[in-house]
């Protein structure tokens, strides 16, 4: 099997490449990357002129909803959606049904996803049993069965002693914690950002102090126990300030933001639009602008889709009773492109945050187009105009705050392991 991708604008942040080049893929590997490669070398040719050719996207937060929640979506439907979004590697959190706290479940998920041949699935194991925040899981066994790190998903550990001991234990084996910083007490029953909008709508607010107290606690324990920590889906300006200082002080911490926080604020909730019910909640405009600034200055290492398909019935409820989450993996790259265009940010810097930086965070050799590396490639058409609607989205989840909006730019083909797994119709 060999593919030649001709005349694309190749952006490979790791290797500092941004040029019109050809890429030759042979036997699942990148065989050559150069100008004017001979078309006779490949059985299949993809004309990528006027398109962007980049490493396959590594999404640090993608809810596949398996095992257990197949009424929302299936592993196959969401891996197809991921491919349509240019994603070839995905990290999935442990809050499935049952919770990923046993090696057997992790192996099953890994096996099921491998059969589909649509991407690498990197499960996060539950840090505590049933995510109860009390007792540790068999962390080494989970690691051996394929967990790339350990997480509490949306269930922050309340007990500081448990947090401390779990970090000590992870650090013993040089394993990484992937946590969303939220104080369980301060955010209890909270629905949206605490501010004028929550006051107007009469919905319980979540203050930024809920995120900052948790960040402070996590970073202090990480510093003392020398634990590697990745903070997932940071939402506040105050939180980003703390992380910036921690990085300066040499704490081994990285962080990401979800694509929604870059373009939306609590104002978008309007009159109770449940598609804007997200965790963490959409914040203020000043937080949003700080997030964009922190992407550019490097405080934010990566951008994730936080893809969370939700069954339509669970959005057809009063706001606080509906289910949080948005279907977003197919919008990740279009929104990255929009961010680059609207805020004049170097596209290569942004692509770095969804390819090479996530690979670094996961400590895997992926997210680049070096010769001999795995041929995971995303080809993006930056001039394709399309509308987000239930027909254009492949995911089973049709819930998105961007429903019926137009985007410029869409992934046109995705290659995983040297095989074409997605071609736009």
Partner 1 sequence: MFNPQLNEKGNLNHLLSIEGLSKEKILQILDTAESFLKIGERDVKKVPILRGKTVCNVFFENSTRTRTTFEIAAKRLSADVINLNVATSSQSKGETILDTINNLIAMNADIFVVRHSSSGAAHFIASHVKPNIHIINAGDGNHSHPTQGLLDAFTIRKYKTNFNNLKVAIVGDILHSRVARSNIHALNILGVPEIRVIAPKTLLPYEVEKLGVHVFHDIDKGLKDVDVIMMLRVQNERMDGVMLPSQEEYFKTYGLNQSRLNLAKKEAIVMHPGPMNRGVEIDSAVADSEQSVILPQVTFGIAVRMSVMAILAGQYS
| By CB under 8 A, residue 199 contacts partner 1 | yes
For the CB of residue 334, give the shortest distance to partner 1 in the complex, in Å. Answer: 22
Helices (H) and strands (E) counted in the chain, each on its own, are 13, 18
| By CB under 8 A, residue 203 contacts partner 1 | yes
User: Which residue, 121 or 206, has its beta carbon nearer to partner 1?
Assistant: 206
| By CB under 8 A, residue 237 contacts partner 1 | no
| By CB under 8 A, residue 202 contacts partner 1 | yes
User: Which residue, 198 or 413, has its beta carbon nearer to partner 1?
Assistant: 198
Catalytic site residue 306? yes
Interface residue with partner 1 among 321, 346, 363, 387 (CB under 8 A) is: 321
| By CB under 8 A, residue 128 contacts partner 1 | no
| By CB under 8 A, residue 388 contacts partner 1 | no
For the CB of residue 371, give the shortest distance to partner 1 in the complex, in Å. Answer: 50
Q: How far is CA 12 from CA 8, 56, 255, in A?
A: 12, 10, 21
| By CB under 8 A, residue 272 contacts partner 1 | yes
| By CB under 8 A, residue 382 contacts partner 1 | no
User: Which residue, 269 or 329, has its beta carbon nearer to partner 1?
Assistant: 269
CB 125 within 8 A of CB 151: yes
| Token pair 């607010």: residue | 205
User: Which residue, 319 or 416, has its beta carbon nearer to partner 1?
Assistant: 319
Q: Looking only at residues 204 through 223 of this chain, which bind partner 1 when binding is defined by CB under 8 A? A: 204-205, 207
Q: Are strands 176-179 and 192-193 parallel, antiparallel or unpaired?
A: unpaired
For the CB of residue 286, give the shortest distance to partner 1 in the complex, in Å. Answer: 13
Does the bond joining 280 to the residue before it have cis omega, within 30 degrees of 0? yes
| By CB under 8 A, residue 201 contacts partner 1 | yes
Interface residue with partner 1 among 271, 344, 391, 404 (CB under 8 A) is: 271
For the CB of residue 403, give the shortest distance to partner 1 in the complex, in Å. Answer: 11
Binding region for partner 1 (CB under 8 A) out of 25-33, 98-106, 210-218, 318-326: 318-326
Size of the site for partner 1 (CB under 8 A): 23
For the CB of residue 194, give the shortest distance to partner 1 in the complex, in Å. Answer: 4
Catalytic residue (one of 22, 95, 306, 376): 306
Interface residue with partner 1 among 200, 224, 289, 385 (CB under 8 A) is: 200
| By CB under 8 A, residue 316 contacts partner 1 | yes
| By CB under 8 A, residue 364 contacts partner 1 | no
| By CB under 8 A, residue 319 contacts partner 1 | yes
Catalytic residues: 306
User: Which residues contribute to the site for partner 1 (CB under 8 A)?
Assistant: 194-196, 198-205, 207, 270-273, 313, 316-321
């Amino acid at each position: 099997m060999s593919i030649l991708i001709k005349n694309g604008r190749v952006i490979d942040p790791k290797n500092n490449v941004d040029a019109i080049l050809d890429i030759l893929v042979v036997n699942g590997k990148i065989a050559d990357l150069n100008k004017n490669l001979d078309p006779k070398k490949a059985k299949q040719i993809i004309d990528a002129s006027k398109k962007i050719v980049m490493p396959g996207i590594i999404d640090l937060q993608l809810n596949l909803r398996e095992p257990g929640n197949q009424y929302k979506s299936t592993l196959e439907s969401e891996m197809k959606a991921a491919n349509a979004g240019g994603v070839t590697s995905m990290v999935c959190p442990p809050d499935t049904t049952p919770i990923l706290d046993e090696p057997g479940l992790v192996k099953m998920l890994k096996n099921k996803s491998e059969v589909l041949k649509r991407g690498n699935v990197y499960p996060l194991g539950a840090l505590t049993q049933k995510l109860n925040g009390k007792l540790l899981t068999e962390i080494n066994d989970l690691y051996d069965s394929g967990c790339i790190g350990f997480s509490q998903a949306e269930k922050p550990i309340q007990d500081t002693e448990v947090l401390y001991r779990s970090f000590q234990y992870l650090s013993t084996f040089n394993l990484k914690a992937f946590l969303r910083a939220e104080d369980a007490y301060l955010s209890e029953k909270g629905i949206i950002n605490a501010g004028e909008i929550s006051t107007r709508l009469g919905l319980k607010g979540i203050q930024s102090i809920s995120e900052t107290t948790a960040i402070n606690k996590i970073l202090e324990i990480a510093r003392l126990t020398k634990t590697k920590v990745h903070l997932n889906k940071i939402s506040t300006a105050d939180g980003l300030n703390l992380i910036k200082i921690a990085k300066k002080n040499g704490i081994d911490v990285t962080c990401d933001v979800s694509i929604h926080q870059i373009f939306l604020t609590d104002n978008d909730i309007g009159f109770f639009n449940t598609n804007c019910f997200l965790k963490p909640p959409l914040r203020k405009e000043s937080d949003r602008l700080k997030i964009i600034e922190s992407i550019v200055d490097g405080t934010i290492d990566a951008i994730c889709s936080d893809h969370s398909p939700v069954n339509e019935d669970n959005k057809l409820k009063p706001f606080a009773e509906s289910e949080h989450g948005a279907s977003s993996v197919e919008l990740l790259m279009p929104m990255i492109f929009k961010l680059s265009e609207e805020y004049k940010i170097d596209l290569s810097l942004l692509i770095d945050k969804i390819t090479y930086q996530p690979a670094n965070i996961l400590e895997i050799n992926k997210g680049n187009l070096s010769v001999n590396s795995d041929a995971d490639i995303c080809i993006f058409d930056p001039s394709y105009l399309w509308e987000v609607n239930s027909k254009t989205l492949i995911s089973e989840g049709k819930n998105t705050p961007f429903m019926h909006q137009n985007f410029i730019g869409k992934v046109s083909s995705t290659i995983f392991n040297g095989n074409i797994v997605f071609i736009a119709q």
